[in-house]
Amino acid sequence: MPANNPTACLLVIGNEVLSGRTRDANIQFLATGLGNLGIPLREVRIIPDVRETIVDTVNEVRRTFDYVFTTGGIGPTHDDITSECVAAAFGVPWEHHPVAWPRMEAAYKPGEFNTARQRMATMPRGATLIENDISVAPGFQLENVYVMAGVPRIMQSMFTWLAPRLQGGAKIEMRAVHVFGLPEGVLAEGLEAVQARHPDLDIGSYPFYRTGSHGVTLVAKGPDAAAADRAIAEVTELIAGFGKVPIPGEPPELSAGEGPEE
Amino acid sequence: MPANNPTACLLVIGNEVLSGRTRDANIQFLATGLGNLGIPLREVRIIPDVRETIVDTVNEVRRTFDYVFTTGGIGPTHDDITSECVAAAFGVPWEHHPVAWPRMEAAYKPGEFNTARQRMATMPRGATLIENDISVAPGFQLENVYVMAGVPRIMQSMFTWLAPRLQGGAKIEMRAVHVFGLPEGVLAEGLEAVQARHPDLDIGSYPFYRTGSHGVTLVAKGPDAAAADRAIAEVTELIAGFGKVPIPGEPPELSAGEGPEE
């Protein structure tokens, strides 16, 4: 992985993924979007709606990574505590936001901008807004921490607004080739040699399973597209050397995960 | 959340989820399975195939949580480094496993149990095996750390084998009711009162979006089923008080995420 690209950490805040009630729908979108900006996602943490956990985690990761993105916990209900926890993490007051408050007040009918909704216009002092096309409630940025909604389509709208405003690095290029019927354990030695020849790339090996057929996808990743192309050409040759047919790109309908084979 | 239930942390190890190449398929399965055993999942970390990161993270979380589960990185290729990192984290040798080694050696044709495959039979000293029905390569347990495959169907087979061998607590019960056309911001105050009357439950509020209709799901979670039933009855009454129709259970085809409304 390139040493000079800025790094990112994502905090998914909320009990509903940890309880298994919902399957996360935001990680892959943000991982891909950040990779395209040359801001590789280096860690994801899924944490519960617990004040101490959120405060401590925000403080740990904002010092470790260039960018921290959070999703979830900025709605109007009692379990939405991300915003006040970010204020506590930075040691700043949690107060009426000078832009968000009047805007949200104007968006509701008289009397409907109640205490619960006012929470969504209350932010850490110094926060700047992250806009979106769907909800009147914005996200916000404080230093290197970007606080976004958990509802996927609102989060996506916020990230789309945010993307051109982030300072990225060289885009992470990804090239792949796959093969059926050739076990990882046979490819491993040659693959390690390809990795050794391309120390600036990440060479990954991902077995997949289909009804009636197994295979493996080999991926080369890094900021240098030409190097990734060369590495995949070497892997392609390696596969052909075992008398199998290398197929460019990812297999259709990828099943997730990596692990032991056979 | 019950204070006397054992807690769990899941480490998803591998670059392919962080790069956005694949969408995680293991978190929800394990979150649900652990909840059913009364071992609430309290944190998930997705980390890359980087030795120092894996070692440091394993050492941090194995001291914080009762159970640590890992998925990914136990295959035969150069990027599969979970097993040796767990050995390093515990400060024990990484060596031929007395059971896994002869079993795997016997499973391959003469000459095919090569260096790469031998890695899958090499484990931290003191590890006991986690069996599965699909791959000849087992996972392993060392103290409170359970190392499993990343390929979903192998991981699921390992967890199914493991589940009756884990010491759990009271099962986490979950009850839900949902409603269309009633914003979270209207429900919030009454919902907070329900939470205040049931401090041993987690009351969660999760908006959802459909083409042409919005709604919110209210969830009560905790080890006391009767308390969860009572809390949901109170939420049902709250919804009816706004002239809307409470619908028992989760909405069909749940979309993930929580966040701001309207």
Reported ipTM: 0.92
Q: Tell how many helices (H) and how many strands (E) occur in chain B.
A: 9, 12
Asked if B86 and B181 sit in the same domain, the reply is no
Please give the Cα distance from A248 to A130 (Å, whole number): 39
Last-in-domain residue among B135, B165, B195: B165
Q: Does A20 touch chain B (CB under 8 A)?
A: yes
Answer whether residue A256 is part of any domain.
no
Which residue is closest to A183 within chain B, CA to CA?
A: B76
**pLDDT at residue number A57:** 98
Which residue is closest to B114 within chain A, CA to CA?
A: A185
- Mean of the per-residue pLDDT values for chain B? 93
Asked if A136 and A197 sit in the same domain, the reply is no
Question: Strand pairing partners for A47?
Answer: A13
**pLDDT at residue number B106:** 96
**pLDDT at residue number B120:** 97
Please give the Cα distance from A21 to A25 (Å, whole number): 12
Answer whether residue B46 is part of any domain.
yes
Asked if A179 and A158 sit in the same domain, the reply is no
Answer whether residue B73 is part of any domain.
yes
The residue assigned the tokens 């354990």 is: A185
Last-in-domain residue among B105, B131, B165: B165
Please give the Cα distance from A202 to A132 (Å, whole number): 35
* pLDDT band, very low/low/confident/very high, at A259 (cuts 50, 70, 90): very low
Asked if B219 and B177 sit in the same domain, the reply is yes
Please give the Cα distance from A239 to A179 (Å, whole number): 8
A259 within 8 A of B75, measured Cβ to Cβ? yes
**pLDDT at residue number A251:** 86
Asked if B18 and B148 sit in the same domain, the reply is yes
Per-residue pLDDT of B53-71, as tens digits, reads 999 999 999 999 999 999 9
- Of A87-101, A194-208, B85-99, the one with minimum mean pLDDT is A194-208
Answer whether residue A257 is part of any domain.
no
Q: Residue B241's domain spans which residues?
A: 173-248
Total domains in the fold of chain B: 2
Residue B223 scores a pLDDT above 90: no
**pLDDT at residue number A185:** 93
Helix-, strand-, coil-residue percentages of chain A, each rounded to 5: 35, 25, 40
A42 backbone dihedrals φ, ψ, rounded to 5°: -105, -15
Asked if A153 and A39 sit in the same domain, the reply is yes
* pLDDT band, very low/low/confident/very high, at B96 (cuts 50, 70, 90): very high
Cβ separation of A76 and B188 shorter than 8 Å? yes
**Segment A216-244 mean pLDDT:** 96
Q: Nearest-5° angle of CA A206, CA B54, CA A9?
A: 85
Asked if B190 and B72 sit in the same domain, the reply is no
**pLDDT at residue number A260:** 40
* pLDDT band, very low/low/confident/very high, at A3 (cuts 50, 70, 90): low
Burial A172-199 (b: 16+ CB within 10 A, else e): bbbbbbbbeebbbbbbbebbbebbeebe
- Mean of the per-residue pLDDT values for chain A? 93
Residue A108 CB burial class (10 angstroms; 0-12, 13-18, ≥19): middle
Provide, as residue numbers in chain A, all residues whose Cβ is less than 8 Å from the Cβ of B122: none
Answer whether residue B88 is part of any domain.
yes
Last-in-domain residue among A135, A165, A195: A165
**3-state SS class at A188:** helix
Cβ separation of B71 and A15 shorter than 8 Å? no
Length of chain B in residues, anyone?
A: 262
**Segment A158-172 mean pLDDT:** 95
Asked if A143 and A197 sit in the same domain, the reply is no
**Segment B179-192 mean pLDDT:** 95
Tell me how close the Cα of B25 comes to any Cα of chain A, in angstroms. 6
Computed from CA positions of residues A76, A68, A41, A136, in that sequence, does the dihedral angle turn out positive or negative?
Answer: positive
Q: Identify from B19, B30, B49, B159 which residue to disrupt to test chain A contact, counting A C-beta atoms within 10 A and taking the largest count.
A: B19
Please give the Cα distance from A10 to A57 (Å, whole number): 11
Q: Does A154 touch chain B (CB under 8 A)?
A: yes
Cβ separation of A259 and B219 shorter than 8 Å? no
Identify the CATH number of the domain in which residue A74 sits.
3.40.980.10
Asked if B74 and B197 sit in the same domain, the reply is no
Question: Strand pairing partners for B129?
Answer: B140
Answer whether residue B28 is part of any domain.
yes
Answer whether residue B111 is part of any domain.
yes
Cα separation values, A74 from A46, A135, A234, B201, Å? 15, 12, 48, 21
Identify the CATH number of the domain in which residue A181 sits.
3.30.70.1130
Answer whether residue B104 is part of any domain.
yes
Reading the block at residue B150, the tokens are 């990343």
Proportion of chain B above pLDDT 70, given as a percent: 94
CA A52 to chain centre: 23
Asked if A31 and A138 sit in the same domain, the reply is yes
Asked if B161 and B189 sit in the same domain, the reply is no
Asked if B109 and B76 sit in the same domain, the reply is yes
B67 within 8 A of B8, measured Cβ to Cβ? yes
